[in-house]
Amino acid sequence: MGVQDIETTQGGDQHRATIGHVLNDLHALELMIKKGMFETGIRRIGAEQELALVDDASEPAPVGPEVLDTLAEPLATTEIGRFNIELNLSPMELTGSVLGEVHRELDALMGRVKQAAARHGARPILIGMLPTILQEHLSMEFITPRPRYFALNEQITKAQGGRFDIRIKGIDELKFTHDNVMVEALNTSFQLHYQVAPDEFALCYNGAQLIAAPTLAAGANSAVLFGKRLWHETRIAIFEQTIDTSGCEIPSQRDVLKRVRFGEKWVKSSVLEIYQEDITRFRALFGPEKQEDSIALVEEGQVPKLYGLATHNSTMYRWNRPCYGITNGRPHLRIENRVLPAGPSVVDEIANAALWFGLMTQVPKVYPDLADRIPFEHAQANFVASARYGLNFKMHWLDDSIISARDLLLEELIPLARAGLKSCAIDQGDIEHYLDIIEARVASGKNGARWMLDSAAKIHGIGTRAERLGALTAATIQRQETDEPVHQWPMAELSEGGDWKQHYERVGQYMNTDLFTVQADELIDLAASIMNWEKVRHIPVEDEKHNLVGLLSYRAILRFVSDPKMRSKGSVAVADVMERDPITVSPETLTLEAIELMKAHGASCLPVVVDGKLVGIVTEHDYMRIAGQLLEDQLRDKSDQD
């Protein structure tokens, strides 16, 4: 959970004061390590569960703060999007029946969230990226009204030059531009914490970096966004492109780090290396609300909170992040794993945790010299490849070897995880239960991303895009409630999306986005040919920036053909024939309003625009199809009643 108590303005004397506190805290941390003040000899774990809320149509439900008020749970807190919340699980010692205990606590919390959400017309879902989320859900209207989120938006958006350009290439390609930091709200994760002693931090942290790629490959669950089939773990690409303060006009010759990143090198000896690099490379976005003289406290034998360092660290989004905390009056260090997505089910998440905790325990024992056996650049490349391809890639491994992610997990890493958990005296039945799930998932190649992509392929071309994405979302919720692991899930069916009428309430749910367009200076004969080739009766006319400037209809082409004066002109441009300033709607326009507009203006189609830019089109044919479905449903209902 990020630090919530902050000062929201930075500059001049205030900024220098903030850096003074951060440096004071860093020196205090170094002094605490030298004095041996940190808790050792105990291995605690923890977890943070982020989740999304959806309505009856499986679309984002912006009721997070209201659900939290109803829930009244101190372990629950807000996220940046109003349609997300976070659950913080209790820290526990890594021994005995801890895996089962974490499972039961999370089940109980999810049950309470489900009840609280129902009172606000919503349902919780565990998923890395919600398939039904649209760009309009990322407006400032949906941001959770807390100072931290507004401050983060102000600082990051300013650094980005007021725009976020997102580019991701998978099976499909996604390109979109946004104007605020709410793009971060696309991501939902299951974050894990692992307590370490200061003298073992470097080896454990390097181990976390080494295993990031294969554990992510096994747990990938974020393959579909805005209807596009992208990376197996698209969260990685989205987050790294969103939270960036490097500036929008960087010379190409210069190397610049991003706040969201895997890292640049192996840690040599101390956690101080990471904090020093982050303080060196990144300006403080905002300061802590509370302050203390941390060095003086340490010299007096007291334990400081390190407010300044904690606040700065909360704006550093390393995929494996160091954390400082205090338990029962004793300070400790943790490694926070931010790699894994939420879902696909609670049992899948606990299985992912079992794999990671087991490897975090065993890898430092069997690979104490890992930094000498594999270049850091290979670990970094493995991480990116695992996000792109899930289990379907060959990775660089120790001693210049190359091995498939699946073979590495099955032959080496899962057995190591079993040994690591056994060395912690974890209940043998829990070890077998959860790691058998990982083994079966990896052997089948069916993680959450694979299930999503296979389901999307099965229903591709059936129904509308809104129906398909709604079906994927609803099917995920239904299967999560069984608590069966994802490799046993049947694929989604279009019928699982619920009443089809839910998917036709607004124009954006069924508009055609695969458009054939021309520009105004194009030859009219080409436009006529496109209509003939593609069997369409309307062609939007746009400029080079995709702004709608007109509409060309089949009727207009007929009038042109029958007009001798126009034909005698020779080369005729689309601009000479098109309708200028056509009636348009937005994706949020209600279907009934769109129908009334068409009737009132005698229009046979409506271009759909956002800020003047063309995003889709709806036609008379679409409404005939909807009417046909409605009539068929009514006749079936009447037949059943008879």
Give pLDDT tens digits for 503-562. 788 888 888 888 999 999 999 999 999 999 999 999 999 999 899 999 999 888 888 878
Query: Which among 546, 553, 557 has a CA at the least distance from the CA of 606?
Result: 553
**Is residue 380 domain-resident?**
no
**Is residue 402 domain-resident?**
no
* Summary mean pLDDT of the chain: 91
DSSP 520-541: TTSBHHHHHHHHHHHT-SEEEE
Q: Which residues contact 174 (CB under 8 A, 6 or more apart)?
A: 166, 167, 168, 225, 226, 228, 230
**Is residue 110 domain-resident?**
yes
pLDDT in tens, 357-408: 999 999 999 999 999 999 999 999 999 999 999 999 999 999 999 999 999 9
DSSP 134-194: -GGGGSGGGB---HHHHHHHHHHHHHTTT-EEEEEESSSEEEEEESSGGGGGG--BEEEEE
Confidence bin at 579 (pLDDT 50/70/90): very high
Confidence bin at 9 (pLDDT 50/70/90): very low
**Is residue 378 domain-resident?**
no
Q: Which pLDDT value is given to residue 625?
A: 75
Over 60: is that where the pLDDT of 593 sits?
yes
Q: Which pLDDT value is given to residue 260?
A: 85
The domain boundary residue, chosen from 315, 343, 371: 343
The domain boundary residue, chosen from 343, 359, 378: 343
DSSP 326-389: EETTEEEEEEEE--PBS-S-HHHHHHHHHHHHHHHHHHHHH-TTHHHHS-HHHHHHHHHHHHHH
The domain boundary residue, chosen from 343, 366, 381: 343
Q: Which pLDDT value is given to residue 608?
A: 95
Q: Which pLDDT value is given to residue 559?
A: 85
Region 92-113: mean pLDDT is 98
CA distance 599 to 505: 18
Whether the upstream peptide bond of residue 344 has omega within 30° of 0, thus cis, is: yes
**Is residue 317 domain-resident?**
yes
- Indicate which CATH number applies to the domain containing 523: 3.10.580.10
pLDDT in tens, 133-142: 999 899 999 9
**Is residue 337 domain-resident?**
yes
Q: Which pLDDT value is given to residue 253?
A: 47
Alpha-carbon distances, residue 250 vs 159, 317, 389, 636 (angstroms) = 11, 21, 30, 62
Q: Which pLDDT value is given to residue 331?
A: 97
Over 90: is that where the pLDDT of 420 sits?
yes
Output the six-digit token pair for 465. 């895009």
Q: Which residues contact 59 (CB under 8 A, 6 or more apart)?
A: 132, 133, 137, 470
Region 572-599: mean pLDDT is 92
CA distance 161 to 245: 10
* pTM of the model as a whole: 0.88
**10 Å Cβ neighbour count for 372?**
11
Output the six-digit token pair for 628. 């046909």
Over 80: is that where the pLDDT of 615 sits?
yes
Handedness of CA 241, 245, 248, 253 (dihedral sign): negative
Beta bridge partners, 49, equal: 87, 190
pLDDT in tens, 179-205: 999 999 999 999 999 999 999 999 999
Over 80: is that where the pLDDT of 286 sits?
no
Confidence bin at 155 (pLDDT 50/70/90): confident
Region 165-178: mean pLDDT is 93
**Is residue 218 domain-resident?**
no
Over 50: is that where the pLDDT of 418 sits?
yes
Confidence bin at 622 (pLDDT 50/70/90): confident
Query: Which among 116, 82, 123 has a CA at the least distance from the CA of 470?
Result: 123
**Is residue 454 domain-resident?**
no
Region 426-439: mean pLDDT is 98
Percent pLDDT > 70 in the chain is: 92
User: How many alpha carbons fall within 13 Å on the CB side of residue 531?
Assistant: 17
| Total structural domains within the chain | 2
CA distance 581 to 590: 21
For 523, the domain range is 508-627
**10 Å Cβ neighbour count for 577?**
20
Handedness of CA 34, 36, 37, 39 (dihedral sign): positive
Confidence bin at 11 (pLDDT 50/70/90): low
Q: Which pLDDT value is given to residue 638?
A: 62
